């Protein structure tokens, strides 16, 4: 209701421009009991049902940072809605209002979980299934230097290569799908991974399809050989590292700026002057704390 209070609600603006696409991105959506409640990623994730699936055995569910509901179920799904509405407008010539709920966005994102419930993927308690840290071959393991390796050897042919790299004989081990043996297998895998450094394991599994990769820190990703070859990470003029825009388009790839990120309020005055505000009006807005102005200081 904030935009309505300002006289800028979708009904008003769509009367001015019927082709307008008006996106409303909120946690709980525009209607329903929770519509006007405060919340954060963890709350939206909880209400979607997805949070109940995330966590280890005998531990509380945990939210994986705020990536799922905020950015994936929220930002990305809202952006997809805008793209869809833009495409529809080429046919109808009309805009529309997008009600993007982070609860519904992350729930829809989890359609795979819903559609595979009867296939045996999720019929065990949290933390005991194939993809939620239950399986020994879909897990992270600590190395002797305190780093970690990620293992995702789901298919039998990949699992065989995993065992070969670990120096284990498959004939002397339980079946890959022997659920009751998974806890003991995890202990065995953990003890083996703990005997070598991350670099040593990378060398052992290099060039194989064992689905074993290092868990890279933010400090290490840019120097990783694969990431370097694809220029997956970029540096700005202050040597700060960030991901390159993705996905990569063949004909019109994004051209990222290599300048430092602007300070909050750095360009406020410049933009308002461009839009016709006077210096006196800008000063008044600043004194009334309507806007923020933050000009960088010279390093002399």
How many Å apart are CA 229 and CA 244, to the nearest integer? 13
What fold does the segment set 138-215 form as a domain? formyl-coa transferase, domain 3 (3.30.1540)
Q: How many helices (H) and strands (E) does the chain have?
A: 12, 7
pLDDT tens-place string over residues 266-277: 999 999 999 999
Q: Cα torsion for 172, 177, 179, 180, to the nearest 10°? A: -30
Structure-token match 């010539």, residue found: 93
pLDDT tens-place string over residues 137-194: 999 999 999 999 999 999 999 999 999 999 999 999 999 999 999 999 999 999 999 9
Q: If one looks up domain 2-116 in CATH, what number appears?
A: 3.40.50.10540
How many Å apart are CA 132 and CA 232, to the nearest integer? 28
How many Å apart are CA 82 and CA 94, to the nearest integer? 13
The answer to whether residue 251 scores a pLDDT higher than 80 is yes
Nearest to 151 by CA among 126, 173, 103, 161: 161
Phi-psi map region of 90: left, alpha, beta (phi>0 left; psi -120 to 50 alpha): alpha
Fold match between 2-116 and 138-215? no
| Percent of the chain with pLDDT strictly greater than 90 | 88
Q: Could you tell me the pLDDT band of residue 214, with boundaries at 50, 70 and 90?
A: very high
The answer to whether residue 300 scores a pLDDT higher than 60 is no
pLDDT for 48 equals: 98
How many Å apart are CA 182 and CA 16, to the nearest integer? 63
Mean of all residue pLDDT scores within the chain: 95
pLDDT tens-place string over residues 4-37: 888 999 999 999 999 999 999 999 999 999 999 9
Q: Could you tell me the pLDDT band of residue 297, with boundaries at 50, 70 and 90?
A: low
How many Å apart are CA 167 and CA 164, to the nearest integer? 5
How many Å apart are CA 2 and CA 177, to the nearest integer? 54
Domain ranges of the chain: 2-116, 138-215, 260-299
Q: Looking at the annotation, which residues are catalytic?
A: 40, 70
């Amino acid at each position: 209701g904030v935009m309505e209070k300002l006289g800028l609600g979708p009904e008003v603006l769509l009367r001015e421009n019927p082709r307008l696409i008006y996106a409303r991105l909120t946690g709980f959506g525009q209607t329903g009991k929770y519509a006007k409640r405060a919340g954060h990623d963890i709350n939206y994730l909880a209400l979607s049902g997805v949070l109940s699936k995330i966590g280890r055995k005998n531990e509380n569910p945990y939210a994986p940072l705020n990536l799922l509901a905020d950015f994936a179920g929220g930002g990305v799904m809202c952006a997809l809605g805008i793209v869809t509405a833009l495409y529809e407008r080429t046919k109808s010539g009309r805009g529309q209002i997008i009600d993007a709920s982070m609860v519904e966005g992350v729930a829809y994102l989890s359609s795979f979980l819903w559609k595979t419930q009867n296939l045996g993927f999720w019929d065990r308690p949290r933390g005991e299934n194939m993809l939620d840290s239950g399986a020994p071959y879909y897990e992270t393991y600590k190395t002797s230097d305190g780093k970690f390796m990620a293992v995702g050897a789901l298919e039998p042919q990949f699992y065989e290569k995993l065992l070969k790299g670990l120096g284990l004989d498959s004939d002397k081990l339980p079946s890959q799908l022997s659920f009751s043996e998974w806890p003991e297998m995890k202990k065995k895998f953990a003890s083996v991974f703990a005997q070598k450094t991350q670099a040593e394991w990378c060398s052992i599994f290099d060039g194989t399809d064992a689905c074993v990769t290092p868990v890279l820190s933010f400090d290490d990703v840019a120097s990783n050989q694969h990431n370097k070859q694809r220029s997956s990470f970029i540096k700005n003029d202050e040597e700060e590292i960030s991901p390159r825009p993705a996905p990569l388009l063949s004909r019109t790839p994004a051209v990222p700026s290599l300048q430092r990120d602007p300070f909050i309020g750095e360009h406020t005055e410049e933009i308002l002057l461009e839009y016709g505000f006077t210096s006196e009006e800008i000063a008044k807005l600043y004194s009334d704390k309507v806007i923020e102005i933050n000009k960088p200081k010279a390093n002399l």
